[in-house]
Structure 1
Amino acid sequence: MTTSPTGTAGAQPATAGFAISERSAHLRAETALFMRDHVLSLVSHDLRGPLNAIHSWAYVLERKLDANDPNSQRAIAGIRSGVDQQVKLLETIVDATRAETKALALVYEPFPLHPLLVETAEEVRAGLARARGVEVRLDSQLATEQLNGDRERLAAALWLMLAFAVEASAQGAEVVLSTRADPGTWHASVTYTPNEATLNDPALPHLLEAFARKQAGEPREAKRIAWVFALCKRVTEAHGGGFEQSDAGEAGDGSPATLALRVPLSASAPR
């Protein structure tokens, strides 16, 4: 089953008069919230390694220094105190701030997948793609398949994948949402051709924050996703699935990039 948009290809980007629907505005805010918490999580994780090393080396230095030298002992105490203060800061401010999305509450109900795909694709078409002159095509192999999960959360993950792909696509380009279900898992992928200039052009309509779009184009460590996709990662993992980001080849070489999620059809709340 394949669903295609009408009246999208060839449309002119229209910054003037570009209006964001209430739902798109809500999803944009949720994207920013999850991204904030994801960045805080990375900060917490990446700072603890160096702080632990400093703490350990302080003990090594203490054994090498004269125990009767008050200046040396004061310096060691200052190092330890500084490390303890930083760890406490991480625990009381950084970790506490991201608690809202750390324990993600899901509402599990069975729902048909195909209507969700149609609705989400149309939301992105109406909310951004038509203004940008980008075609959003749904290539669905689904018929009556159902998934037991949080429909709204999964719709938000799909919306973000499609919205980013449109943001990163040049006028006249095509973004394809492909989806299928094997005996136990739902698979959905978004394929697009990245264009960095378009992604960061302030003259074009945008849904996602400039900071998020800029960071998404920077080199990433292995297995780490761009910050903007934190919602996709958190929602799919909460359902027992996963999210993957596959970049294009050389920048601007015209090769496609892919965003993909997978979720068990029988996802259920953890006990």
Structure 2
Amino acid sequence: MTTSSAGTAGASPASSGFVVSERTARLRAETALFMRDHVLSLVSHDLRGPLNAIHSWAYVLERKLDANDPNTQRAITGIRSGVDQQVKLLETIVDATRAETKSLALAYAPFPLHPLLDETVDEVRTGLARTRGVEVTIDSQLATEQLNGDRERLAAALWLMLTFAVEASAEGAMVRLTAHADTGAWHAVVTYAPRAAALNDPALPHVLEAFARKQAGEPREAKRIAWVFALCKRVAEAHGGSFEQGEATDGEAATLALRVPLSAASPR
């Protein structure tokens, strides 16, 4: 078991001293892309149920109302036509727009896990965490374990988990990454104490979009994640794994958990 940390808690979180690296800017853009497509997916899913119900009730009304009344028949036809137009919009615009991340291409190759953790944590530490005065630590039980998967995609998911935790943490707080591997999977858990004020204070330096941070603090339906974590969820599921966002109460410990099979195989 190895434990490492870097003292960033004493840094002063001044916006003027924070410079976004090229890689961070790219990861931020990818996060926004996956979030957009995730929202479109929710819109498509949540609208189809009511539209189907309206369409069905239109047929019920048609059988109940006077078939010889032209005004009634025009109204029924208008309802069905409107529903059909909305469904077509979902199929041709919403579903087509999110196709880029719906079928996520992965570059599979075996790689050691521990260096991935060190590199990603170091990137978050030297960027936002140091500027915000947040300490990021690693508690890893990994040794020589390898994972067959897309290293860059998994690094992006881990980066997002850590970055959000730092964004949500007050100055002087600690973000902890715990990692281990069992017989079948790699587990990475980020623990932090969310503070709404830290997450949304415009005077503090931020990497993630203001809209994403605001939505992450709103109540979530059962089993749904905050939109900002769409990249984490999509990357995990593309590898045959899972991503879970624990319940977050202001000032209390919260978790973000990633599980990915060690022997994930690329689709044939």
TM-score tier by shorter-chain length is over 0.9
Residue deviations 1:181-211, cap 9 Å, x none?
0011100000000000110000000000000
Match of 1:226 in 2: 226
- Residue in 1 aligned with 2:254? 257
Shift of 1:178: 0.3
Q: Which whole-Å CA distance do the structure 2 matches of 1:123 and 1:153 have between them?
A: 15
Output the CA distance in 2 between the equivalents of 1:22 and 1:134: 22
CA displacement 1:94-128 (0-9 Å, x = unmatched): 00000000000000000000000000001111120
Q: Deviations over 1:56-77 (max 9, x none)?
A: 0000000011111000000000
Give the match for residue 93 of structure 2.
93
- Name the CA distance, whole Å, in 2 between partners of 1:247 and 1:90: 31
Q: Secondary structure at the match of 2:161?
A: helix
Q: Deviations over 1:121-161 (max 9, x none)?
A: 01111120000000000110001000000000000000000
Which one-letter code corresponds to 1:186 in the other structure? W
Q: How many Å apart are 1:11 and its aligned residue? A: 1.2
Matching residue of 2:38: 38
Q: Which residue of 2 aligns with 1:159?
A: 159
TM-score with structure 1 setting the length: 0.97
How far the C-alpha of 1:270 sits from its partner, in A, is: 2.1
For 1:202, give the aligned amino acid: P
User: Deviating runs (4+, > 2 A) in structure 1?
Assistant: 1-7
1:189–1:261 CA contact under 8 A, matched in 2: yes
Of 15-24 and 229-238, more deviation after overlay is shown by 15-24
Measure the CA separation in 2 of the matches of 1:247 and 1:73. Answer: 50
* Structure 2, unpaired ranges of 5+: none
Identify the residue that residue 15 of structure 1 maps to in structure 2.
15
Give per-residue Cα distances to partners, 1:36-83, cap 9 Å, x unaligned: 000000000000000000000000000011111000000000000000
The 5-angstrom pairing of residues 125-140 of structure 1 reads 125-140=125-140
CA distance in 1, matches of 2:6, 2:236: 30
Task: Quote the offset at 1:3 in angstroms.
Answer: 4.1
State the distance in 2 between where 1:100 and 1:14 align. 36
Distance 2:2 2:136 in 1: 12
**Aligned residue number for residue 64 of structure 2:** 64
Separation of aligned partners in 1, 2:6 and 2:242: 32
Structure 2 equivalent of residue 197 of structure 1: 197
In the aligned structure 2, how far is the partner of 1:189 from the partner of 1:23?
Answer: 23
> 1:111 corresponds to which residue?
111
* Partner Cα separation in structure 1 for residue 14 and residue 164 of structure 2: 18
Counterparts of 1:113 and 1:236 in 2: how far apart (Å)? 15
CA distance in 1, matches of 2:9, 2:103: 41
CA RMSD of aligned residues (A): 0.8
Determine if the alignment matches structure 1 residue 247 to structure 2 residue 247. yes
**1:270 corresponds to:** 267
TM-score (ref. length: structure 2): 0.98
Contact 1:4 1:136 (8 Å CA) reproduced: no
Q: Match of 1:52? A: 52
Superposed CA offset, 1:209-242 (max 9, x none): 0000000000000000000000000000000000
- Equivalent position amino acid for 1:138 in 2: I
How far did residue 162 of structure 1 move? Answer: 0.1
**Identity across the alignment (%):** 83
Whole-angstrom distance in 1 between the partners of 2:7 and 2:169:
17
